[in-house]
Structure 1
Amino acid sequence: MTSARSLAASVAALGFASALTAPMPALAAPAPCERAENYAAQSGAALLRIDELEVRKAAERPVAKPGDQEKDEPADSVFSDIDPTTDNPDDSDSLSEGIGMFGTNLLNLADLSHVTVSELDRGGSGGGAMGVPEAASVSDVGVGESRTAMVATTRINAAGYARIADAKGDLSEPVIQQAPPTHDKATTRNTAAGDVGPLTVGKGTIAAHARWDGAMACGKAAGETSRADTELKKVSLGDLVRVPEKLVSRSTTALERSGGETRTVASSAVTANRIDLAGGAIRVRVLRQPTLVACMSTAGGEISYTPAAIEVSGEGITTKRLSTAGDHADVTLRSLEAAPFPGLDTLRKGAPLPLPIIPGLPKISSPHLESAPAGGEGTRVRISLGEVRQARKGRAIAAKATAIQVAITQGGGSDASSASDRDKKGYGSATTLAMTMGFGLMEAAAVAPAADLEGVSAAGGTAGGLPITGPRLDVLAYAGVGLLAVGAGAVLMTIRRRRSRL
């Protein structure tokens, strides 16, 4: 009897000990995502871009006298309703296709616009002396470009690019940094002052930084993924346009987490203090810096645009402040004829940057490029604040904006030269100029996966995306209960036998 009781006690003790001393399940270290989700963002910023610039030297020909049947021919149109960031058909499903520039392009600095020299105005019959072109034009050339991209589903997940000039030449070489692998520090380069065709740029600094955590691919980690910066001490286009103080462009992409929700964020910003136009006759002071931000999550997205606020002034000019997108100011000046720009006829757009492709971005409507008011001689200037243009498609959103737009036209000759004097000479104006230029070009696009696809973890299970190791809890529980039942049964049988003998 004593041995039976001892056996029962031993079995019961074994059951309790097995349940209490068995190793508990353990959480393994974080594992990479089982499947990358459709998290993506792209942004770009440029300090300035020449949309169109044409300088035309008129052929020496008699001006029609009153009563003559011949009328003055209109100058060739250099202002176009065509978006200079027209999609490149070869960039299917790229951000360039998506937002016109980059995916993009606010800038589409990836599109290959080019310089043209009028074939009708070259040397020869009716042309300039020694074959010098009588007219030269350039379009879609930018300065101070910074661009970033983040795509969870590609081999290169994050990238930053920055360069001084979107034009062929020494100053067009970019700095590039890509991840993975992630980088603790940015790649930075200081640049010397120099010329980009007719543009003169001061000393500058360009930097690019790319970082990536494998858990970002499924939205389980957050942080900035890429950043690009371009800084210039100054930039000028002859005496026509001068930015005499430091200006900076910046673009970033990031993943943010809040309340269990992951969202992609793309942002761009441009900083400048002052712009002088027409030899300093017009001064533009920047009172509020422009910014553009796009964000998207499984719950939806939004665009946030802060337009620039500026003050336009000058000697004899009524000071005017512009603070709302679409506001504009028109100024007419008496001035001498337009000056030529050395290097204009040799300026060429640079090669596109190797941007990652982002599928599924929406297209953005093309802006209307305004010219300065026509009529009369002298210099006519229109300064306006650009409006944001945006579009969305599913869980993708994109936007672009030009903070400040400047349009200038200059007729040959000055108002001091009377019409009667010109009639006596029998010749018309010497040189004309027409230009549209944008300051603070910004673009941003963000993409998130559909709600039913977000956050697929590597291990499955219910441990917050971490794989479970060790024995299963249900098996341990069944084993413990079984051992306890065996022990209890042995005790009951011993008690019954004892009673029966009594």
Structure 2
Amino acid sequence: MTPARSVAASVAALGFAGALTAPLPALAQNARCASPGSHAAQSSAQVLRINRLELGAVAKPATRAPEAGPPAVTGVALGDVRSVLIAGGEVKSAAAARTLDGRVPGGSENDLVLQQAPPDNRAASRQRVGTKRFGPLRTGPGTLTAHARWNNGLACASVTGEASESAAALNRVTLTGGGNQSLVRVPEAFSATSSTGLRRRGGEAESVSTTTLNAGKISLVDGEVRIRVLRAATLRVSMSSGGRAEAAYEPAAVEITTRDGEQTLLDTPGDHHDVTLSEPSTPLESIPSPLASADPLPLPSIPGVPAAPESENAPAPDSPTGAKLRISLGAARQATKGKAIAARATAIKILLVRGDDGPATTGHQSSAVVADLSLGVLDGAAVAPKRPTGTRAGTGSSNRTGTGTAAPAAAPGSPDVSPAGAAGLPITGPGLIPLLLAGSGMVIGGVCAFLLSSRRRRES
């Protein structure tokens, strides 16, 4: 090989080698937070809560004075769920669900599932529960679920997605007895869910908590009144990095049918309907029970969150004689403090009163509350995220967490809802097109040098 030809071959080889061996575009490492934000959210829900229940003291003939019975049951709930997100906490995401928010010495075991992060949990913890009896409460088979997720993007509020979720789904729920002598009987699935996470709306990051009550058919007072839940109740509470607070509540829609076939629709907070019960009704049986309230679920709390006002109970219906049932829909009530918001709503309220025609001099009221129940107690709170700081340049937002959980949906009817930009990991290093142009130029230069050297040899 002549020197010129050797040089040309070397140049061509260098051109190909340069194109093949030059560094290709590289994916940057996942950005990390230099200082996690202070954003937070928490949500909780209870399927059925007993605010007050007088056992064995209802539906006595109006001429009789109430008979002494066991102590009233107060502050006990069935199907208790809670979810938490605390970006600056040691436990950053946690979820828990249990069958009963209460204690029954010597009664059925109170099942509990709990999960927390970090580290991230790709799968939820689930536990099937069998038939349970807790004093006047009974429930058939059900499922408890808890799922806690976490990654660095959630700590910085640079990605959106769900951080924690819990659920309690129960079947064949009955209050006092079962079949006959039941005040509340739910033959179908009865469930509550809670979740927390981050979303992006109007260009701002938001902390979000969501709670929902799902139910189907509900029978009250041994079937004298039937309820069909046509629409689930949902409470979504959010606070944006810019201080925009919102408590979006979609009330339940229920259809009430009495024994004589009369139907009434309730679909607006504050709506209520009264039913006068037949004289022979004896909806409560005397069941001595040590059922008492329990400690809160073992999850961290968010400091600085205002207390949401209690829902206003509908006034007890007047019932000079007999017994009367009031069914009403609760409204959401909220409180804000700085860049924190909390809200509470009760989906369906049930109030049962007993008439008492005793003379006023005896000190008896015209009616006495026997049962004060709440179906779907929904609570939520959110603390505003701060803008990400200390992250590496080029980091984009994503509409998914690093573990693939989709962002929570925006509140129904909310305007200007936009997911975070779907940017993946940033690309670093030289571009691919400049590399190809440089390599091609070197190859063409080598070919030209080879042709020039061949021409000179022929001329000589």
Q: Determine if the TM-score, normalized by the shorter chain, exceeds 0.5.
A: yes
Q: Distance in 1 between the 2:305 and 2:251 partners?
A: 24
Q: Which of 233, 241, 247 is 1:290 aligned to?
A: 233
Q: Is the 8 A contact 1:57 1:135 kept in 2?
A: no
Q: Distance in 1 between the 2:349 and 2:91 partners?
A: 35
Overall identity of the aligned pairs, in %: 39
Q: Distance in 2 between the 1:251 and 1:364 partners?
A: 17
Q: Distance in 2 between the 1:198 and 1:26 partners?
A: 64
Q: CA deviation at 1:464?
A: 3.5
Q: Is the 8 A contact 1:183 1:211 kept in 2?
A: yes
Q: Distance in 1 between the 2:323 and 2:54 partners?
A: 14
Q: Distance in 2 between the 1:26 and 1:384 partners?
A: 61
Q: TM-score, normalised by structure 1?
A: 0.66
Q: Which of 387, 391, 405 is 1:454 aligned to?
A: 387
Structure 2 CA distance for partners of 1:435 and 1:467, relative to 1, 3 Å: same
Q: Distance in 2 between the 1:340 and 1:321 partners?
A: 26
Aligned to 1:40: 40
Aligned to 1:107: none
Structure 2 CA distance for partners of 1:307 and 1:180, relative to 1, 3 Å: same
Aligned to 1:358: 302
**2:166 corresponds to 1:228:** yes
Amino acid at match of 1:45: A
Q: Distance in 2 between the 1:233 and 1:56 partners?
A: 25
Which runs of structure 1 show a deviation greater than 6 angstroms over 4 or more consecutive aligned residues? 22-27, 465-470
SS across alignment from 2:207:
strand
Structure 2 CA distance for partners of 1:468 and 1:288, relative to 1, 3 Å: closer
Q: Of the two, which has the highest radius of gyration?
A: 1
Query: Tell me, which stretches of 5 or more residues in structure 1 are unaligned?
Result: 1-21, 64-71, 76-127, 414-418, 420-427, 471-502
Aligned to 1:405: 349
Deviations 1:15-34 (A, max 9, x none): xxxxxxx9999885124211
SS across alignment from 1:172:
coil
Q: Distance in 2 between the 1:282 and 1:407 partners?
A: 13
Q: Distance in 2 between the 1:241 and 1:447 partners?
A: 37
Higher helix share goes to which structure? 1
Aligned to 1:445: 381
Deviations 1:445-497 (A, max 9, x none): 11114xxx4211245xx444899999xxxxxxxxxxxxxxxxxxxxxxxxxxx
Q: CA deviation at 1:393?
A: 1.7
Q: CA deviation at 1:340?
A: 5.2
Q: CA deviation at 1:194?
A: 1.6
SS across alignment from 2:55:
strand
Q: Is the 8 A contact 2:31 2:395 kept in 1?
A: no
Q: Which of 84, 99, 110 is 1:164 aligned to?
A: 99
Deviations 1:353-411 (A, max 9, x none): 12212122122223333454233332210000001101112211111100100001235
Q: TM-score, normalised by structure 2?
A: 0.71
Q: Distance in 1 between the 2:90 and 2:257 partners?
A: 51
Q: CA deviation at 1:434?
A: 0.4
RMSD of Structure 2 on Structure 1 (CA): 3.2
Q: Is the 8 A contact 1:159 1:209 kept in 2?
A: yes
Query: Tell me, which stretches of 5 or more residues in structure 2 are unaligned?
Result: 1-21, 177-181, 359-363, 397-424, 430-460
Q: Distance in 1 between the 2:356 and 2:260 partners?
A: 22
**2:155 corresponds to 1:210:** no
Q: Is the 8 A contact 1:52 1:140 kept in 2?
A: yes
Q: Is the 8 A contact 1:334 1:378 kept in 2?
A: yes
Q: Distance in 1 between the 2:225 and 2:152 partners?
A: 52
Equivalent residues in 2 for 1:176-187, closer than 5 Å: 176-187=114-125
Deviations 1:426-453 (A, max 9, x none): xx9xxx870110011111111114xxx4
Deviations 1:331-355 (A, max 9, x none): 1112336465454431112222122
Aligned to 1:335: 279
**Count of residue pairs the alignment pairs up:** 361
Q: Is the 8 A contact 2:183 2:221 kept in 1?
A: yes
Q: Distance in 2 between the 1:24 and 1:232 partners?
A: 55
Q: Is the 8 A contact 2:310 2:344 kept in 1?
A: no
Q: Which of 187, 195, 212 is 1:252 aligned to?
A: 195
SS across alignment from 2:324:
strand
Structure 2 CA distance for partners of 1:305 and 1:469, relative to 1, 3 Å: closer
Q: Is the 8 A contact 1:256 1:263 kept in 2?
A: yes
